[in-house]
Amino acid sequence: LLSDPAGFRGAVDALVALHSKGTFDVVAGIEARGFILGGAVAHQLSLGFIPVRKQGKLPWKTIGQEYDLEYGTDTVEIHADAVAPGARILLIDDDPS
């Protein structure tokens, strides 16, 4: 998908169309393909972008969330000051589950 310009544009355009009537304050993308799609969607919607990274990858103070995997658990983090209280976040990930 990422190496196909028409496919990539189509995926981004579809996500933008799906969420263009939403009232989001910011887009967040989960590492790593969520950065690519989320950044493009944020740009098209004229919103800011928050990278959601694996634990230990971000500098400064972070907040995290642990989640279950088939084989254990993992944690993702954002900067502690990345989201204003009450902000509406559009979360972009490459995993549809």
Residue 7 DSSP SS3: helix
At residue 38, the 3 state secondary structure works out as: helix
What is the distance between the alpha carbons of residues 51 and 30, in angstroms, rounded to a whole number?
6
Name the token pair of 91. 């979360």
Q: Which two tokens stand for residue 5?
A: 């310009």
Asked whether the CA dihedral 52, 3, 8, 68 is positive or negative, the reply is negative
* Amino acid making up residue 40: A
Any idea which residues carry the catalytic annotation? 33, 70
